[in-house]
Each structure stands twice: as structure tokens, then as C-alpha cells.
Amino acid sequence: MAEETRKEQRYRCLTCNETFTVKAGRKPRCPSCMSIHSVEPIDEKGGFKLPRWWRHAAAALGIAVLAVGGFFVYERFSGSEAPTTADPTKLGAVESERLAKFLADEQIDADNRADPFESDEALASFARKHRGLGGPRGKAEGIYNAMLEYKSKGGYRALVPRQPRKTIVMNAEETFKAATGAGKPEIYSLETAILFTKAARLAGLPAVVAEIVDYDGLKAPLDPSGNFGHFASAVFTSGGYEGPFVIFDLHQGRTQDGQDTHAIPLTDPQVVAQFLGHEAAYLVSVKFDVKNALIKLEDALILAPDSVQLHTLQALIYMTSGGIEEGKAELRKAMQTRNDPQRMVKWGALMLADDEVEDAMAEIRKAIDLMPDYALAHASLAMAYLADGENDEAEHELALARKMDPEDPLLPVYESNFYLVTGRAADALRAAERAWEENYHDPQTGLLLAGIYAQTGHKEEMRKILQEIRANENLPSELLALIDEQLGQMTYVDEEGEDEEEEEGEEEALPSLEKPGIGEKPQEGFLTGKGGSGLDMQDPFGGMSLKKGGGLLSGGSK
């Protein structure tokens, strides 16, 4: 028994105070709240051992940073003369086996030990064929121009992700096949950056993926959502992984000297972290699998503990699952690293959720001052105006947002809420139907649409929406119970009230949009707030809280 005990380690979770035991060598994860960052080992005397996060924090101290224009960029980079055997914690190419071993040593879950740079001979042949002449920059330009030609001919579209794509993030090999095939796919900037970086390495060039925080002169963020980041490739011109570099941005179709760009070159493990972040966004927004999304984010934050995107994603998942205070703490972490317009809008949304309307407006206006064409900021300001009863101003801001970014799938959600509050039920329904289609049939917009169907008498349409949401096995029990209760009530009304409805006649039936006079003011009912003030809902990936209370997966007010 004593021998068996020595093979186990006791831990305590500082978040929920859970105490549990894990076999020696296994990664500790709290069985209650699924956290790994707040888990501390307990020694035999009941005290805490050196926490795991301290090891990662100490390693991070080796990276020098310099604040430039309010953003953080690396000042110096550690190079490697042998890219295929590089230290994974330094800039440079890392061979797949060494990267996998590093991830295993860091106790990253086996399912999360991704190699975004995985490729095949087809990409290697392409890189060798199109490598340009001269030094590193000239050679890289040949590959860049050849790849950009596929985009110019409509081979693929550069995706600006307001919401996650329907399909999961791709590695270099998969991206190359997609970009050069006939499907005309939408491709993330992270994918084009990984693809170009791998091609450059196959051509013998010192290249890494770089996060692009900003290009001078932009009036709207490269990543409007603030949840994904924007990425390009940095090719070093000195022959090694240090010194000056040139940015090759396939996604935006631009090249620029690194010194003129707010750019952060990344190590390969940090690229893995961003890859896991994209996977987590897909899981929570497309598959609605919060548990596994959080597992991926926990692992990602081990590799990139200062990533604003990863902390922001984790914050939004916490908040839309009912963990408001945990979400606020994560968002603060992101803002401590980079308080950019995207973070300002999200923080303003939290203020609005706490009924601090004036402070919310001030925070959102700061974002607009920095990025005047930021559509989501204008839409968020519209919701603040709406909360303050300034409907004309709200409508004006929504119109500006629609003009600036008509493709944003989140705008119909904001517009539907505006129409609900201002008593335009027909417009609210059309906007909600548009939001449902443009947001991959996610539960939140589905509940919005179901609530409007309920208010306007479209019982069968409401039933279909609820049944489709109900079919998702990943929804939490609270939300399933809410939907089952509503479906049960509808069945009861259908069975018990059928004869009575027939006797009363058509004019006494539940109202529909085709009848005049409907929707002067939305009435309190299924999934609505009080007195027609809108729906209790939050928008997890746009960052705008439309109404304080339950979120995407909370199933009700918190």
C-alpha cells in the first residue's frame, strides 16, 4: 500500500478547493472545474510544492520585450544555427519529433500535441520550384508571388474570422491542398502564415510565424473579434534566426520590413498554442463542446501564457457558461498585455451588462477613436445607446456598422435586439432568421429566434428551432431542461387547447406577422427580459453583452 501511495500525487485546486489524487507522471487537472492553471501539488506534510506555472513564468523571463505604441513586440531573438534541432523555446524551425517530445515533456494532452507545420513532398517540390534569386528576401519573394497567384485567381479567400469557420483549423499540408484545389475555401491568416513559413523553411530560409498586432494607418482591426489574432510569416535576412526580418502576409497580400510593423515573431510551440486556440474556438462555437475547448485552451496557455487571444477566448467561454467573475479575471489578463480596441469593446460590454452605461460608452468610444471604422465597436455603442433609451442614436450606429462591415455575421444579432426593443417585430424576426443562418445555427441565436417566434405566434417554426438545438448532445443539462420544458408546454397546449382554439376562430388565435398591429412592444415571455427589454443573452465571440444574465450555455440568468 505504501508503494502504491508513492506512485500517486495529491493536488488541490485553488479555484474550487477540490482535493484529488493523480498517478505519478500524469498531468493534474481538477475533476470538478477542469482547470490546470490553478492546481497545486500537496506534499506529504500538507504544504504546497513549487507550482507548475512558476516553471513557465521563469522561462518567459528570458524573452525581452519593448513597448512600442502601446503594443508589445520582441526586441531581441535567440537564433539557432541548426533549425532542425533548435531549442523549441527559441526562434527557429523544430523538427516534428523534437516538437512532439517537447509538448509531451510539458504534459500537453496527447490529443493536443499538434504539428501545424506537417507537410508532404508536394509542398516541398512547390517551394523548391518557385524559390526566387538572391538572398533570403529574394528567395522568399519567389515563393510568396507564386502562392499569391492562387489567391488572385480565386483559389482561396482570406477569412477575417468574426466567428469560427465551420471546419477545423488546418496544418501546412492541408492548407496547401485546399489553397491549390478547386474548392475556393476560406482560410485563416494563421493557416496562410504556417503554410508560407513551412514552404520558406523547405526552401532553406530562416522563417517563423509572426503575430501582426497592427499595420500603421489601419482604421479597423485585422482581427475584429479579438479572439483569433492576425498572423503572417517573418523571414530573417541575416541568414539565421535573429536580426532584421521581412513580413510576408499572404492573407493581406502585403510585404513589409519588420521594423515598420507591430509584429511578434513566435516560437513553434507558441504557434501550436495559437493552433489550439483556433481549435478551441471551433469546438465551442460550432460544436458547442465547452469541456474540450477549455482543455485545449489550458494546454495552449502553458505554451503561450501571455497570449491576448487565448486569455480572451477563455474569458468569453467562462462568461457565456455562467462564470462571470472568472471571465472578467481572464479578460483583465489579456488587457494587461494589450489593451487594444478589441479588448476595450469587450470590457465596455461587461460594464453595460452591469448597467454602467456611461462608463461603457466611454470605453467603447475609446476603441472607436483608435479604430474609427471598427464596425463591431459601432454596433456595441448602438447597444449602449439602446440601453440608455437613445434609440435614434442606436439606429445610426447600427447603420454605420452595417456600412463598414456588411459581412459581419454578428450584426443581425444586434439588429434583432434593436428591433425587439423598438417594437418592430417583423424586422426583428427577419434579422434573427438571418443571424441563425449566418452563425452556423448556434444555440444562442437559435434561442433568440425561438423567442421571437414565440412572441409572434409561429409555434411550429419555434418547435423546429428548439428541436434542432435540442439535438446537440453537448448542451448542458440546464439548457436542455429549459428546452424540454418549453417543448412539453407546447405539446400540452396543442393537445388540450385544440378544440377551444377552433371554436374561438382565426381572429382569436395567437398573433402572426401577417396580421396588423403585432409587436408594438415585445411582450414578456419565453426567453425574454422584463417588459419587452429584449432577450437574456450574450454574444460570446463578438464580445457584446446584449443583456445581463445567462449566456450561450448557461441556460438562464446567473
Q: What is the DSSP string of 19-57?
A: EEEEETTSPP--TTT--STTEEEE-TTS-B---HHHHHH
Instruction: For residue range 305-353, list pLDDT tens digits in order.
Output: 999 999 999 998 888 777 888 889 999 999 999 999 999 999 999 899 8
User: Could you tell me how many residues make up the chain?
Assistant: 558
- Within a domain: residue 212? yes
8-13 and 254-257 as β-strands: parallel, antiparallel, unpaired? unpaired
Give the rounded distance of the alpha carbon of 453 from its chain centre: 29
Instruction: For residue range 454-487, list pLDDT tens digits in order.
Output: 888 898 999 999 999 888 777 777 778 888 888 8
Residue 354, pLDDT above cutoff 80: yes
Comparing CA positions, the residue from 435, 404, 406 lying closest to residue 221 is: 404
Q: How many domains does the chain have?
A: 3
In one-letter notation, the amino acid at residue 520 is E
Neighbours of 362 (CB within 10 A): 14
Asked if residue 165 and residue 264 are part of one domain, the reply reads yes
- For residue 160, give the C-alpha cell: 477575417
Domain that holds residue 231: 96-277
Tell me the percentage of the chain whose pLDDT exceeds 70.
75
Tell me the percentage of the chain whose pLDDT exceeds 90.
53
Asked if residue 233 and residue 167 are part of one domain, the reply reads yes
Residue 40: predicted pLDDT: 64
Look at residues 40, 60, 80 and tell me which one is the last residue of a structural domain. 60
Helix (H, G, I), strand (E, B) or coil at 423: coil
Asked if residue 14 and residue 116 are part of one domain, the reply reads no
- Within a domain: residue 13? yes
| DSSP structure class, residue 112 | G
- Within a domain: residue 475? yes
Asked if residue 193 and residue 121 are part of one domain, the reply reads yes
Residue 85: predicted pLDDT: 53
Residue 334: predicted pLDDT: 94
- Model confidence at 151, pLDDT cuts 50, 70, 90, reads confident
Asked if residue 109 and residue 20 are part of one domain, the reply reads no
Residue 33: predicted pLDDT: 60
Least confident of 268-277, 295-304, 307-316, 439-448: 439-448
Instruction: For residue range 222-257, list pLDDT tens digits in order.
Output: 999 999 999 999 999 988 999 999 999 999 999 999
Asked if residue 228 and residue 135 are part of one domain, the reply reads yes
Which residues are paired to 66 by β-bridges?
73
- Within a domain: residue 239? yes
Instruction: For residue range 355-386, list pLDDT tens digits in order.
Output: 999 999 999 999 999 999 999 999 999 999 99
- Model confidence at 451, pLDDT cuts 50, 70, 90, reads confident
- Model confidence at 507, pLDDT cuts 50, 70, 90, reads very low
Instruction: For residue range 42-89, list pLDDT tens digits in order.
Output: 654 443 333 332 222 222 222 122 122 222 222 222 233 334 457 898
Asked if residue 212 and residue 121 are part of one domain, the reply reads yes
231-236 and 245-249 as β-strands: parallel, antiparallel, unpaired? antiparallel
Distance CA 143, CA 322 (A): 47
- Within a domain: residue 77? no
Asked if residue 49 and residue 118 are part of one domain, the reply reads no
- Within a domain: residue 393? no
Residue 279, pLDDT above cutoff 60: yes
Asked if residue 504 and residue 446 are part of one domain, the reply reads yes
Residue 60: predicted pLDDT: 24
